[in-house]
Amino acid sequence: MDTRQTYTIGPEYKNCIYEVEHYSNTISTGKNAIISITRNYLWGTFEITLTEDEKESLLTSDDILLNPYNLSSMEISEGCFESAILENETDYTDEEKMELLTSICDGKDDMIFDNCDIDFMNKNDWYLVNTDYSIVSGCCIEE
């Protein structure tokens, strides 16, 4: 029988929770672009529903993508790192990259992908496609 139970899962060590937001937009040349923004958090916990086999598998895993499981965030705190990348950057010309940069940066900062401004992106038709959550370097699971 496939009995599921709800647990609290968190990282075994500090600075081991990652959130990756994937934003999409279509540029003037018709190419669909995706910008991925990664944030690292000091601490956090999630409520997760698992079978006993899933629980045992997670307890022996170093890198855990949480999205495939029935889960909700309980707390994520103290973000300590953020970076952004243009996925498949080599597929774009310099002109296309400049168009993308001007749609994600408001021009006040250096025009680099790490300077994404989410509010500015939303005004320029970027939309959130998906958010991935992961724990690296092991986890703790409690009832």
Kindly give the confidence (pLDDT) of every residue in the chain, 143 residues in length, as a single tens digit, with 9 standing for 90 and above. 579 999 999 999 999 999 999 999 999 999 999 999 999 999 999 999 999 999 999 999 999 999 999 999 899 998 888 899 999 999 999 999 999 999 998 876 677 888 888 999 999 999 999 999 999 999 999 99
What's residue 116's pLDDT?
87
Q: Tell me, what's the pLDDT at 26?
A: 97
Query: pTM for the full model?
Result: 0.89
DSSP-assigned beta bridge partners for residue 139: 11
Contact 129, 34 (CB under 8 A): yes
Whether the CB-CB separation of 126 and 101 falls below 8 Å is answered with no
What pLDDT, on the 0 to 100 scale, is given for residue 19? Answer: 95
Give me the residue spans of the domains in the chain.
4-137
Alpha helices in 48-114 (DSSP H): 52-59, 94-104
Structure tokens at 17: 């929770």
